[in-house]
């Protein structure tokens, strides 16, 4: 069971991913359920639960707060009002499992239980087969997709300039190479650090950590281009999103 948190009105997780990007990042785990919880009340969370219910191939859960906290850090949304909103979600077919997070009480949970009693749970949708990738934003490649533009300039074996910048540890300028590719329309960034005079694993980790702090680059998926399994494995530890290796 996987659950994420939309942190504010931007509609993104703490790492900066959209709902669909977050789902794409973790769908390979084939979880029993995938959901959203905390941070927002039912009014604010509704659109993101609706989106998740549309794209998730598994059961969907939702655990909203009892509204947003007031100036004293308390939650004012009463049990009956919250239950009415949750009932509307269930009637719309968004939910398989529902509960409450911050500010909800046994009274809230009981009211929600009564509100959804007898309603049909969400039916699992038929999702078209696609390659589903993500950085901070999703990239879905399906049967109808056109040419996919992969930026190859962040590759030490293919770009003399990039190799020089990495070997001289000019990582700020190396980031500019990646940024320019995204600005010019690259949908995926290929990164390769396989060079005999480089510690490929250390260089990859350092560069990916820097990219993760640059949302204008990190919004697209990263393609890890390496003949070394250790380099590929390190990427999974340091960078959000569903990559292509």
Residue 191: closest CA among 239, 148, 147: 239
Token readout for 231 is: 């380099």
Q: What's the pLDDT score for residue 27?
A: 94
Going along the chain from its start, the domains and CATH numbers come out as 2-116 (3.20.20.330), 133-238 (3.20.20.20)
Q: Are 190 and 149 in contact (CB under 8 A)?
A: no
Determine the pLDDT at residue 232.
79
pTM for the predicted model, two decimal places: 0.89
pLDDT values of the chain reduced to their tens digit, one per residue, 245 residues = 999 999 888 899 998 999 999 999 999 999 999 999 998 999 999 999 999 999 999 999 999 999 999 999 999 999 999 999 999 999 999 999 999 999 999 999 999 999 999 999 999 999 999 999 999 999 999 998 889 999 999 999 999 999 999 999 999 999 999 999 999 999 999 999 998 888 999 999 999 999 999 999 999 999 999 888 887 776 566 666 555 54
131 annotated binding-site participant:
no
Please list, in sequence order, all residues whose beta carbon lies within 8 angstroms of the beta carbon of residue 230, skipping any fewer than 6 positions away. 201
**Residue 101 marked as a ligand binder:** yes
Place of tokens 């409450």: 100
């Amino acid at each position: 069971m996987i659950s994420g948190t939309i942190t504010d009105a931007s509609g993104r997780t703490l790492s900066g991913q959209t709902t669909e990007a977050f789902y794409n990042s973790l769908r390979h785990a084939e979880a029993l359920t995938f959901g959203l919880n905390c941070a927002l009340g039912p009014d604010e969370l509704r659109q993101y639960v609706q989106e998740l219910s549309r794209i998730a191939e598994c059961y969907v859960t939702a655990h909203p707060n009892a509204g947003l906290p007031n100036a004293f850090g308390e939650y004012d949304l009463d049990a009956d009002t919250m239950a009415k909103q949750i009932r509307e979600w269930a009637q719309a077919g968004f939910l398989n499992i529902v509960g409450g997070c911050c500010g909800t009480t046994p009274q809230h949970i009981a009211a929600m239980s009564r509100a959804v009693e007898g309603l049909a749970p969400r039916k699992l949708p038929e999702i078209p087969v696609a390659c589903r990738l993500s950085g901070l934003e999703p990239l879905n490649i399906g049967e109808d997709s056109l040419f996919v533009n992969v930026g190859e300039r962040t590759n030490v074996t293919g770009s003399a300039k990039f190799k020089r910048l990495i070997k001289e540890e000019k990582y700020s300028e190396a980031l500019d190479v990646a940024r320019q590719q995204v600005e010019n329309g690259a949908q995926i960034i290929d990164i390769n650090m396989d060079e005999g005079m480089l510690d490929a694993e250390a260089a990859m980790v350092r560069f990916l950590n820097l990219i993760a702090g640059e949302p204008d680059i990190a919004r697209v998926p990263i393609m890890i281009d390496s003949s070394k399994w250790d380099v590929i494995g390190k990427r999974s530890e340091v960078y959000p999103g569903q990559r292509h290796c």
